[in-house]
Structure 1
Amino acid sequence: MTENKPNKKKDIRALTKEQLRDFFVEQGDKAFRGNQVYEWLWGKGAHSFEGMTNLSKATRTLLETHFVINHIRVDQMQRSADGTIKNAVRLHDGLVVESVLIPTATRTTACVSSQVGCSLNCKFCATARLKRMRNLNPDEIYDQVVAIDNESRLYHNHPLSNIVFMGMGEPLMNYNNVTKAIAMITSPEGLGMSPKRITVSTSGVPKMIKKMADDAVRFQLAVSLHSAIDEVRTKIMPFNENFPLADLKESLQYWYAKTQSRITYEYVVWKGINDKKKDIDALVKFCMYVPCKVNLIEYNPIDDGEFQQASSESVTNYINALEKRNIVVNVRRSRGKDIDAACGQLANKT
């Protein structure tokens, strides 16, 4: 006869407020106790049951018996010469992801991760060289934002202004957990941020872009495009073979028809890869399909020399061609390069 192993404690933040209320009723307590615990977990960011000071000792012991709080820990914080902060975030199972605070004169932006590693295989991205180990839970995504909000208040004297899902991982391959995290970030019971200040950046998963539109999400959409020519895009982003540009275009048109929300294309120009006139013409044509703006992003090398930043003349050619067709274009200079915190550099070197 084998001895039964004790049940593993549940992660309490996987429970809804209603489930917490039900738990207390089942224990012979009042339902409102669930409301109190929920506020401690999300509104006050409690790391332990012991810290829930308006609960009785018996109630805290009850929670300790049944649940755990799988809170993240910032293992290492690096500060760049330009004010950017990179956090190495330790998860409850020992895995590590990275998140970044990007300050400007008027705002602070959190760049958060959605997966440990990445599901996709973009050749120019250091994160893509890590195998995808697992998806992040909603509370782990939320905790990254809370940590950066605290750092924003401490080092820049104001709360976090914006959030971009441009850290490690493909957010649309962890759609349910990402949207649950955003729901709590935007909830008055969480951080109360406006969804318009949140951008989810995808490499382009057409089926999931359509699902977002059907779900009537209120956050912004960005697409990591980098080429509007299938042959070129497949070389640098091999998954494009399964999600070709025709399918991506259709999904973006569907998104706009449903949401009336303009799309942002993230676009790096590389020497000898996508810096020719045909590349520019293809992007301009792609931009005609749906209202959009283009962010031309400075490339951040990942040590192997295969990809090199294009000349300033090539970038200027892109700007001129886009502006000629009245397409909004911005040039984004990289932040935090000296601590490997810039776009495409998150690779857990720590």
Structure 2
Amino acid sequence: MKNTQKDIRALSREELRDFFVSQGEKAFRGNQVYEWLWVKGAHSFDDMTNISKETRAFLDEHFVINHIKVDQMQRSSDGTIKNAVKLHDNLTVESVLIPTASRITACVSSQVGCSLNCKFCATARLKRMRNLNPDEIFDQVVAIDQQSRLYHNRPLSNIVFMGMGEPLMNYKNVVKSIEKITDPEGLGMSPKRITVSTSGVPKIIKKMADDEVKFNLAVSLHSALDDVRTDIMPFNEQMPLQELKEALQYWYVKTKKRITYEYVVWRGINDQDKDIEALIDFCLAVPSKVNLIEYNPIDDGQFQQADPLAIDRYVAKLEDRGITVTVRRSRGKDIDAACGQLANKNA
């Protein structure tokens, strides 16, 4: 049966070469198949036109390509595209193409659902069903690159792991997917154009530093006061801010890469001067910059966009202390494609 066969993309180039040699074929056949899978993005063995029909049929008997399928695509009035991505086991994740004048960014998912319990995020309402495999993350990027060329006449330029799931809770597969994305014999993208966004898992941040990863790090901070952060992001009780700060200092010492803090300001939650001062202190602990993000409500409950004057106070006080700050306006709100809104409404 097809569903019991091994996904061929779980094999490395060397394993593919060894497989063909074991079957009495030339090792270079493994190179050809690898290129079809990771450079040309083949969806089936029939696509591999420089391989004989007999060999393709043989591969089809032994392996499967569990390719994703863009099950539904929504286009926003601002050019944003949201994909409902159907996986081989009929689970669904979402990915988003975000266009601006200077770049096209793919926002990709790393888990079906999420391991964490942030109260303001729609994805957190879905229990974590499983981690995505490296090829499933890779496929999201390929699909968005194709859409970018089709609808915006230019290739994908940046990737952010800010979709569904906590990337550091699927660290091994996320790193493997980035290796394929950045490999010259894969998509050949620069790691400098890739950002992994985490809610903050100190142990894994230190491991990333030890692994000497080349991509960028962003942290969804939202408060630099433990009591406030624990209230809105309950996992903070097990991984408090002091541990996070120490991990980020370790990261910077090892990588010399500045950290980006993603930060939403909500009315009545983190819009006071004490919140701003705590953020400043946290930022001064390690070279960093702050993205203040427009909030996208997921209901009419606890979390509401702060008054614009509160945002202005944040910007003024951060800049006064020499901290780089930008205000990021959300895109794709009309199709629920903005930050915090990914929740498989159409799954």
Residue 301 (structure 1) aligns with: 297
Question: Is the counterpart of residue 281 in structure 1 residue 273 in structure 2?
Answer: no
The code of the aligned residue for 2:327 comes to V
The answer for the alignment partner of 2:101 in structure 1 is: 105
SS in structure 1 of the partner of residue 82 of structure 2? strand
1:168 aligns with 2:164: yes
Partner of 1:327: 323
- Please give the residue correspondences for 1:55-134 in structure 2 after superposition, counting only pairs within 5 Å: 55-134=51-130
Tell me how many residue pairs correspond in the alignment. Answer: 346
Q: Distance in 2 between matches of 1:329 and 1:196?
A: 20
* TM-score, normalised via structure 2 length: 0.99
Corresponding residue number in structure 1 for 2:141? 145
Residue 335 of structure 2 corresponds to 339
Distance in 2 between the 1:124 and 1:349 partners? 16
Any gaps of 5 or more consecutive residues in structure 1? none
CA distance in 2, matches of 1:25, 1:189: 21
- The residue aligned with 1:16 is 12
Residue 267 of structure 2 aligns with an amino acid whose one-letter code is K
Contact persistence 2:201–2:244 (CA under 8 A): yes
CA distance in 2, matches of 1:237, 1:7: 38
Cα offset, 1:188, TM superposition? 0.9
- Aligned-partner SS, 2:21: helix
Deviation sequence 1:196-254 (CA, Å, 0-9, x none): 00000000000000000000000000000000000000000000000000000000000
Structure 2 residue matching 1:331: 3-state secondary structure: strand
Pairing partner for 1:202 from 188, 195, 198: 198
Q: CA separation in 2, counterparts of 1:8 and 1:307? A: 45
Supply the AA of the counterpart residue of 1:205.
Answer: V
* Matching residue's letter, 1:159: P
**Matched residue of 2:95: which SS?**
strand
Tell me the distance in 2 between the aligned counterparts of 1:101 and 1:156.
Answer: 10
Of the candidates 310, 313, 317, which is equivalent to residue 317 of structure 1?
Answer: 313
Structure 1 position 266 matched with structure 2 position 256: no
Q: 1 CA distance for matches of 2:337 and 2:16? A: 38
Report the secondary structure of 2:168's partner residue: helix
Matches of 1:167 and 1:230, distance apart in 2: 25
CA contact (8 A) 2:2 2:64 kept: no
Distance apart, 1:57 and its partner CA:
1.2
The alignment status of 1:189 with 2:185, answered yes or no, reads yes
Please say if 1:32 is aligned against 2:28: yes
The aligned amino acid for 1:25 is V
> Counterparts of 1:7 and 1:179 in 2: how far apart (Å)?
26
Q: Distance in 1 between matches of 2:3 and 2:335?
A: 42
Q: Aligned partners of 1:173 and 1:52: how far apart in 2? A: 35
Deviation, structure 1 residue 61: 1.1
Structure 2 unmatched ranges of 5 or more:
none
Give 1:158's aligned residue: 154
Name the SS for the 1:44 alignment partner.
coil
Shift of 1:6: 10
* Over 3 Å off, 4+ runs: none
**Partner amino acid for 2:107?**
C
CA distance in 2, matches of 1:132, 1:8: 24
Task: Supply the distance in 2 between the matched residues of 1:72 and 1:87 (Cα, whole angstroms).
Answer: 11
C-alpha distance 349-232 of structure 1, shift in aligned 2 (>3 A): same
Q: Secondary structure at the match of 1:330?
A: strand
Task: Give the equivalent residue in structure 1 for 2:50.
Answer: 54
2: CA distance between counterparts of 1:226 and 1:7? 42
Which residue identity lines up with residue 184 of structure 1 in the other structure?
Answer: K
Displacement after TM superposition at 1:7 (Å):
9.4
User: Which residue of 1 is the match for residue 252 of structure 2?
Assistant: 256
SS at match of 1:100: strand
In 1, are the aligned partners of 2:199 and 2:220 still within 8 Å (CA)?
A: yes
* Alpha-carbon separation, structure 2, partners of 1:6 and 1:302: 39
